[in-house]
Homo-oligomer: A and B are copies of this chain.
Amino acid sequence: MTYCLALKLTEGLVCLSDTRTNAGVDNVAKYRKMFTWEVPGERVITMMTAGNLAITQAVMSLLQENIDNPEPEIETLYNAPTMFRVAEIVGDAMRVVQTQYGPGLSAMGESAMSSIILAGQRIGGKTRLFHIYSAGNFIEATDDTPYFQIGEHKYGKPILDRVITSDTPLDTAITAALLSMDSTLRSNLSVGMPLDLAVMRADRIGFAQLRRIEENDTNFQHLSESWSAALRNAFAEMVGIRV
């Protein structure tokens, strides 16, 4: 399983992903699920993937192959004129890969279901956030629903529902994303450290943060323990309330 989330705030974009994959509980591995492309000041793109690992790896490889060995007429992540076109290019790659492997997987009773979160900005455009489905179609985040989650999304949803709006400051949103991930890590073994964090401040067209948070990261551990203590204290206040 996987847990990835992305938030689109007025101040910018926050992306956070775990790195655990599993094919059954006895086949657990560590894979990066966050992929980034950057031309500072011109375009910045982050993608995160969930679902069938072979499918999502093939989509990412196909997108990168078209950048590395371009045919003249092919549009790529690096020359697409808008983030909307980037989303279409990713959707097209998803459809190509699904057409190639989907029927074979289906015949074996395996799922080819995959999804991709795409976040980024191109110079002259706004920050945009897309959720791309297995069929290559996609939806875009709006002010009403300023975040997307893929993978094991339920454990970490309550905290986002309670604190995230479009106007949430970027630092606050990073904290909310990390606590959403923390709740998921605690409740589901199929989601695991380390984490990958990408922060793109609006109109800077680059990464304000792009880093891995390791299992032994003392700052993250401190946040996690502080949150546990704060929740226990908050809960202790509730026990006196008569229902």
A178 interface residue per 8 A CB criterion: yes
Q: Give bound CA distance, A178 to B235, whole Å.
A: 11
The reply to whether A243 and B227 form a contact with Cβ atoms under 8 Å apart is: no
A73 interface residue per 8 A CB criterion: no
**Assuming the A-B contacts A171-B239, A238-B223, are A154 and B187 also in contact, with contact meaning beta carbons closer than 8 angstroms in the complex?**
yes
A241 interface residue per 8 A CB criterion: yes
- Given A172-B239, A175-B235, A222-B241, output 16 extra A-B contacts at Cβ < 8 Å: A155-B155, A155-B157, A155-B158, A158-B186, A158-B187, A162-B228, A162-B235, A174-B243, A175-B238, A176-B235, A179-B235, A213-B243, A219-B243, A223-B243, A230-B235, A234-B234
The listed residue (B178, B233, B235) touching A243 by CB distance below 8 A is B178
A-B contact pairs, 15 of them (CB 8 A): A155-B158, A162-B228, A162-B231, A162-B235, A171-B239, A172-B239, A175-B238, A175-B241, A176-B235, A217-B243, A220-B243, A226-B237, A227-B234, A230-B234, A234-B234
**A232 contact set on B, CB distance < 8 A:** 162-163
Say how many copies of this protein the assembly contains.
Answer: 2
**A235 contact set on B, CB distance < 8 A:** 159, 162-163, 175-176, 179, 230
**A227 contact set on B, CB distance < 8 A:** 234, 238
The reply to whether B219 and A242 form a contact with Cβ atoms under 8 Å apart is: yes
Q: Give bound CA distance, A96 to B237, whole Å.
A: 47
**A68 contact set on B, CB distance < 8 A:** none
- The interface of chain A, by Cβ under 8 A from chain B, is 154-155, 157-159, 161-163, 171-172, 174-176, 178-179, 183, 186-187, 213, 217, 219-220, 222-223, 226-228, 230-235, 237-239, 241-243
**A187 contact set on B, CB distance < 8 A:** 154, 157-158, 161
The listed residue (B155, B175, B238) touching A179 by CB distance below 8 A is B238
Cβ of A239 to closest chain B Cβ, rounded Å: 5
Q: Give bound CA distance, A223 to B186, whole Å.
A: 25
**Assuming the A-B contacts A158-B183, A187-B158, A243-B213, are A230 and B238 also in contact, with contact meaning beta carbons closer than 8 angstroms in the complex?**
yes
The reply to whether A231 and B228 form a contact with Cβ atoms under 8 Å apart is: no
